[in-house]
Amino acid sequence: MTKLAILEYPDPRLRTKAAPVTVFDAALKRQIADMLETMYAAPGIGLAATQVDWHYRLIVIDVSEDQKQPQVFINPQILERQGEAAGEEGCLSVPGIFDDVKRAQKIRARAQDADGRTHEFELDGMLAVCLQHEMDHLEGRLFVDYLSELKRQRIRKRLDKERRERDASRAAPRRQRTPEHVL
């Protein structure tokens, strides 16, 4: 398995609309395994293929406490939405940012599994919110799109500053430690 790089907002590739998965083979199963490894390492509870620059309709989710109940949703569709509630969301592609987003409380969805079999699900709670959030990624949307333009600008500036600082610290030459540097 391979840990994949997660694209970060405002990377334009996050705006790509994902294509349907049409081939259910060993390569797809490797992609699923790599995405699960990446999600767990991040750490996160959901990851859409778009976030790792693979623009197909694939989502992995694990909302369990022990991270031992991974779920795979391929070519997902929401068939029905019920209720509405606002809840705080974050995103691996928008690190360190959290805000309230309104989502359906309950959904009925259809998706395929890694072997191409179609299943229907009744989802509520965190799993329903997570699937809706990840499905937005497949459409090229991010949770920050639900926020005001002013909030998006502030988030973009903050993330740009953090990225510059991170890049500068990686690029800074490292001094070799000599005995006089050790206390």
Supply the residues annotated as catalytic.
134
**CA–CA separation, 164 and 183 (whole Å):** 31
CA dihedral over 97, 102, 65, 113, signed as positive or negative = negative
From 132, 124, 112, select the one nearest 28 (Cα to Cα): 112
From 175, 159, 174, select the one nearest 11 (Cα to Cα): 159
Name the DSSP class of 116.
Answer: S
